[in-house]
Structure formats: structure tokens, C-alpha cells
Amino acid sequence: MTRHQRSVSTRYLDYGDPMGLKSLREAIAVYLATARGVRCTADQIMIVSGSQQALDICARALLKAGSRVWMEEPGYRFARSVFALNSCRIVPVPVDQEGLNIASGIKRCRNARAVLVTPSHQYPLGFTMSASRRLQLLDWAESSRAWILEDDYDSEYQFENMPISCLQGLDRNTRVIYIGTFSKVLFPSLRLGYLVIPCELVERFRVVRVAMDISPAIFSQAVLADFIREDHFSRHIRRMRLLYRERRNALVENLRSALGSVVEVTGEQAGMHLCVLLNGICDREIAQRAALADLWLVPLSSSYVGSKGSRHGFILGFGSTSVEEMPGAVKKLRLVLGSAQRTRAT
């Protein structure tokens, strides 16, 4: 940033390309081809302010009022608001250990217009979509002429196995729009993400982007382009993968030591969060109690479209919690759970 600030060009002060800075799009295209097996050119990449704006652009470009959209159940609750604002109808489709249940989705609504999936590390349960489910989803999208919105959430941080190829790289019928963001791998206030768009849709997406905000800010794009091209980004990912693995291990070990069979842990194989499942306890009530002890928990039930059939538990992020802090945080959780169980018993 300092280097660019010392030689600021007037081009930073003008409107930019609606698709984003070409040098950044070229750097992202090379990175995605190498790290994720994405098949694209820089001309197919659009720079956005994050995955939330990416979803909004997709909804405006591809869907209309009343369009049915499959969403993972449980799923990312902020994505639901995007589709609701665009007057779409959400079809919740259950998730199991293999990811989105395609057969259930077809049974509920075969002719949905689109589906949003987080195949690399499902949010919030943390499962990775199996290769067979990925192929089933691609087959359904082609036969139904539906769009797959692939949010490749947490794909950089796989701890146990080699990452499975992204859906976009497996797609031979150009039904996948690939969504990525730097909010988690760098920091949220950077507000930079990207879309990989099929060639025949690029102009449609460009028109929507111009109507929304003309173009993304140029300066931060130029800085990030250099950061990626000079290999700082790849080194950062490798370093953080080791750090997050260490923090994941500490959290899992402390949960199992302190809580044992009281909770079931899912999704610890990847990413920066895992999920703990509870039985017989209201997670929202526990979260309120925990907040009084300065322990911040995201209730799992808030990720369901409705209360019927929702499971209770917590989404625990460990990316910003040090190994040394883990025992104290888990101890607080154990005390809050114990207090809630005693209250229910009386």
C-alpha cells in the first residue's frame, strides 16, 4: 500500500472497468487455475465487494420475482436476505455428511431456477460435498437448465485431505457461477471478492454492475494484484493453514476433554469454524447466558429457514482465538451448559 501511495496515478481517481482492474483479474485467474482447478480467463472475472454483493448481482442477473432457489438447510442466513430482497422463493434442502441432498431437492422442487451451495466447507455444519453429490448436482442443473451459485467458502483451509475439485472445474455445461472472497483469507474490511462468470453471461452481469455502482474502487485492487503476483498471498495461505490447524486442534481437544459426549462436533476437517450439536437444550437461550459471561456463540438454529426440524448447537469460529485462550473459552461454555441443564432439571 505504501508503495502505491507514493506513486499514485490519476487513474486511481477516475471510474474503473465495471469488471474490475485487469491486473487483479489476471492474477486471480492464475491463482484459481492453480489452487482450485477453475477454468476461466481474466475476462470472465468480475471484482465485487464480497460474497454478499456477488449473490445480489447473481440474483439480479439470473433470477426474477418468484424464482425458486434451493438453499442448504441449515445455511448461510445472510444469503437468504439477498434472495428475499429480490423476491425469490427459497426452497430449503437438507444437508447431510455428503453435503446438499440432491435427491431431496429434486423431490421438493425439481424445477428450481438456481441453487446456492458451499461445497468445500458447508456453512454452518462444515461437511465437504462428496464427489458423487457434485456430479449429481451438475447433472440436475444441466437437465433443469438451472444455475449453480458455488460459494467456495473456506476452500483454502483443508486440514485432513487434499481439496476436491471445485464444481466450476467439473462443469462442462457452463451452469456454474463461482464466488470467492478475500474477507476470510485476508480481512473483511478489505471488501474485495470476485465472480467467475460463464462467457455468454458476462455482458448481462456487466450491465447489472454498472446499474448498481458503476465499478469497484481501484486503489485496493492494484495493491492486492501486486500482493498476489509477488507470491505474498500464497505464502500467507500456507502460513495461516498451519496456524488455523493448530487452533482447530486446540479447540477440538478442549471440547472433547471438557464436554465429552455432551456435544457432537462436526466440520472440523476444514475452514475456520466448526459446529457443536446439542440435545435437549435451546441454543438461543444458551447464547444469551453465554453473552453475560463475555462468551459469544452463534446459535445453529438461526441458520434454519424455520424452527420446525431445526437442530440446536453452536457455530464456533476459532480463527481469531489463540491456543492459549481455548481452555478458558471452553470452560466458560461448559459452565454455561451446566447452569442451563441444572435450570431445566429444576
Question: Is residue 63 a contact partner of residue 113, using CB atoms and an 8 Å limit?
Answer: yes
Encode burial over 162-174: b for 16+ CB neighbours within 10 A, e otherwise: ebbebbbbbbeee
How many Å apart are CA 43 and CA 184, to the nearest integer? 25
Q: Which residue shows C-alpha cell 477516475?
A: 14
Instruction: State the CB neighbour count (10 A cutoff) for residue 2.
Output: 6
Q: Tell me the average pLDDT of the chain.
A: 93
Question: Is residue 335 a contact partner of residue 293, using CB atoms and an 8 Å limit?
Answer: yes
- Predicted confidence band at 26 (pLDDT cuts at 50, 70, 90)? very high
- The residue ranges of every structural domain in the chain are 2-230, 234-345
Backbone angle region of 252, left / alpha / beta, with phi > 0 → left and psi within -120 to 50 → alpha: alpha
Find the mean pLDDT for residues 222-227.
96
pTM to 2 decimal places: 0.93
Q: Which residue shows C-alpha cell 420446525?
A: 308
CA dihedral for 47, 49, 53, 57, sign (positive or negative): negative
State in words which class domain 234-345 has: alpha beta
* pLDDT attached to residue 343: 66
* pLDDT attached to residue 260: 84
* pLDDT attached to residue 8: 79
Instruction: Output the nine-digit C-alpha cell for 12.
Output: 486511481
Q: Which residue has the higher pLDDT, 44 or 35?
A: 44
Provide the 8-state DSSP code for 38. -
- Predicted confidence band at 18 (pLDDT cuts at 50, 70, 90)? very high
Find the mean pLDDT for residues 11-29.
94
- Predicted confidence band at 261 (pLDDT cuts at 50, 70, 90)? confident
* pLDDT attached to residue 154: 85
How many Å apart are CA 312 and CA 24, to the nearest integer? 42
- The neighbouring-strand residues paired with 99 are 96
Closest CA to 72 of 56, 83, 62: 83
Q: Do you know the residue count of the chain?
A: 346
Find the mean pLDDT for residues 184-212.
96
* pLDDT attached to residue 165: 79
Q: What is the pLDDT of residues 129-165, one digit of tens each?
A: 999 999 999 999 999 999 999 999 888 888 877 767 7
- Predicted confidence band at 293 (pLDDT cuts at 50, 70, 90)? confident
* pLDDT attached to residue 345: 59
Our CA angle for 191, 78, 267, nearest 5°, is 95
Q: Which residues contact 5 (CB under 8 A, 6 or more apart)?
A: none
* pLDDT attached to residue 25: 98
Measured in degrees and rounded to the nearest 5, phi and psi for residue 272 equal -120, 15
Instruction: State the CB neighbour count (10 A cutoff) for residue 179.
Output: 26
In percent, how much of the chain has pLDDT > 90?
Answer: 82
How many Å apart are CA 145 and CA 149, to the nearest integer? 13
Find the mean pLDDT for residues 314-322.
94
The CATH architecture one would assign to domain 2-230 is 3-Layer(aba) Sandwich (3.40)
- Predicted confidence band at 338 (pLDDT cuts at 50, 70, 90)? confident
Q: Which residue has the higher pLDDT, 317 or 279?
A: 317
**What DSSP line would sit under 303-316, residue for residue?**
GSSSSTT--EEEEE
* pLDDT attached to residue 51: 94
Instruction: Output the nine-digit C-alpha cell for 10.
Output: 490519476
Instruction: Output the nine-digit C-alpha cell for 264.
Output: 457432537
How many Å apart are CA 89 and CA 151, to the nearest integer? 19
Q: Judging by DSSP bridges, how do beta strands 89-96 and 68-73 pair with one another?
A: parallel
* pLDDT attached to residue 322: 95
- The neighbouring-strand residues paired with 48 are 193
* pLDDT attached to residue 346: 58
Q: What is the pLDDT of residues 56-101, one digit of tens each?
A: 999 999 999 999 999 999 999 899 999 999 999 999 999 999 999 9
Asked if the model's pLDDT at residue 308 lies above 80, the reply is: no
- Predicted confidence band at 4 (pLDDT cuts at 50, 70, 90)? confident
Closest CA to 298 of 308, 309, 310, 312: 312
